[in-house]
Amino acid sequence: MSAASAIVSLRGISKVFGAVRANNQISLDIHAGRIKALLGENGAGKSTLMSILAGHYHPDDGQILINGQPQTFRSTKDAIVAGIGMVYQHFMLVEAMTVTENIFLGQEAGFFLSPAAMAEQVRVLSQAYGLHVDPQARVADLSMGEKQRVEILKLLQRQSRILIFDEPTAVLTPQEAEQLFAALRTMAAQGKAIVYISHKLGEVMDLADEIAILRKGEIVDELLASEVVSQSDLARSMVGREVLLQFEHTPAELRQNVLRLSGVYSGLLQDISLTVRHGEILAIVGVAGNGQKDLVETICGLKRPQQGEISVLGQGWSAFFADPPWQGGLSYIPEDRTGLAVCRNMNLVDNFLLTTRQGYSTPVWIKQEAAQAVTQGLMEQFKVWPPDVRCLARQLSGGNLQKLVLAREFHRRPRLIVAEQPTQGLDVSAIEEVWTTLLAAREEAGILLVTGDLSEALALSDRVAVMFEGRIVDTFFTSQRDRVDNIGLMMAGMMADAQHGSS
């Protein structure tokens, strides 16, 4: 397709954040009725480039053309007026407001709509696209997957002509992702231009018409999806080497229980009983909003159990969290990396100290130089880019921020690890490194892995527990293929009476 037919043309776009050159002289064309995928490693500049198109950032150099006409976006509102909408990887929602209030926030209707009428519009829209969420629910009470649906509904309700999705399936189950793909194909068929940022090579090959690959802030390749032979070819173009997410999963030696829940009720949780032993990975899978959030928060001390017993590393829940150890205890890798795992406006050393300060402090002061040296070493080991401890957390891409959190928590040498969506937003190279690290960590810990990625759960875990409506439907070993084949049905509640696995 020619540049002349492009609905959007980016010409020579450059953007620098301090010492970080996020985009370097990028030129790209986006066409109506087509789905263009942007691929690249964490920190390659994909999200920055699209944030410039959406008016969130201003380019330091270059030009944006819409239908051949130069445009200057002073704000996201200018981009919205031009017909551009973006669903960001890090949510842009008001937590205290309802779903409906968030969707209509900032949108100027030509006539007055009652709250009931607005809620009905949201209900109809969510039903039409299979993105179900309660219009009256408060956003703060939603799971990450449900929040993502609200962001997508905001964009759909706005009826933008140019739609940008930044890792939209990161918190969706395979079934939810397929529903989203169907909606995207429908929108493209309606003549809308869609840009799709993802690290999931399979879904890119299945969904995209065109693919552009970025590496270190520059376009290194553009091709039609029909020209791609295999996922390994795409991975090689992204990272410059062969990447194979294949592991020889040999069971580790099982030792004592590091976590035990018996008859626990808390929030959505109903009669939860499970154990995790030193040397194993237990994966929790289920559609977002079925109690995973309450389970993690209760186990990690953020929410007190209402009923039942919890033992963490041999201690009762209250005793353990009265004075938890900074090292050799429990490490929590939250799903919400920007709201809970880090402080965005603090530098990387201070973020490292958020959970490790006991090991780098005296009664009078923090051992800043020692903490800085360790942070620098961990960033190099985990390939955090850019490897500059003076950077603020908000200057890192989502994937690099996740690698920083993983580095910090593994440095604590925990005996119990609660990893909630640990590879969300990571590229294939980084996923390979995280999987390797988690499997190696079984030598020193038991791991509770909460993930929406079934391939990840089956590749890493020794046992799988399926959650539906706050209950554990079944628990089984990954070697039990008949049970594995029914995971999708269990997640949908169609086998809620199975209850034949042991905890």
Residue 501 lies in a domain: no
Residues 121 and 270 in one domain: no
Residues 197 and 337 in one domain: no
Give residue 196's pLDDT: 96
- Token readout for 82 is 């031009």
Give residue 352's pLDDT: 96
Give the domain range for residue 172: 3-239
Residue 402 lies in a domain: yes
What are the start-end ranges of the H helices in 159-248?
A: 174-189, 201-207, 231-239
Residues 380 and 418 in one domain: yes
Residues 440 and 379 in one domain: yes
Residue 169 lies in a domain: yes
- CA dist 100 and 196 (Å) reads 25
Closest CA to 304 of 314, 318, 323: 318
User: Domain ends where: 239, 271, 286?
Assistant: 239
Encode pLDDT of 143-202 as tens digits: 767 888 898 888 888 878 999 998 887 666 666 778 789 888 988 998 999 999 987 888
- Token readout for 26 is 């990028």
DSSP label at residue 254: P
Encode pLDDT of 318-365 as tens digits: 999 999 999 999 999 998 777 788 998 999 999 999 999 999 998 889
Q: Where are any strands of DSSP class E within 45-93?
A: 61-66, 69-71, 84-87
Residues 26 and 58 in one domain: yes
Low pLDDT (below 50) residues in the chain? 497-503
Give residue 112's pLDDT: 67
Element (H, E) at 380: helix 368-381
211 near 199, Cβ under 8 Å? no
Give residue 501's pLDDT: 44
Residue 463 lies in a domain: yes
The β-bridge partners of 262 are 309
Residue 498 lies in a domain: no
- CA dist 22 and 318 (Å) reads 46
- Amino acid identity, position 371: A
Give residue 435's pLDDT: 86
Longest CA–CA span in the chain (Å) reads 68
Residues 277 and 421 in one domain: yes
- Token readout for 308 is 């039942």
Residues 227 and 302 in one domain: no
Residues 130 and 268 in one domain: no
Q: Give the CATH number of the domain where residue 383 resides.
A: 3.40.50.300
- Amino acid identity, position 125: L
Residue 50 lies in a domain: yes
Residue 247 lies in a domain: no
User: Domain ends where: 239, 274, 299?
Assistant: 239
- CA dist 303 and 451 (Å) reads 20
- CA dist 12 and 61 (Å) reads 7
Residues 226 and 280 in one domain: no
Residues 178 and 307 in one domain: no
User: Domain ends where: 172, 204, 239?
Assistant: 239
Total tally of structural domains belonging to the chain: 2
Residues 483 and 362 in one domain: yes
Cut 0.75: pTM above it? no
Residue 245 lies in a domain: no
Q: b/e string for 181-201 if b means 16 or more Cβ within 10 A?
A: bebbeebbeeebbbbbbbbbb
Give residue 499's pLDDT: 46
Place of tokens 């020209």: 227
- Amino acid identity, position 403: K
DSSP label at residue 357: G
Residues 135 and 261 in one domain: no
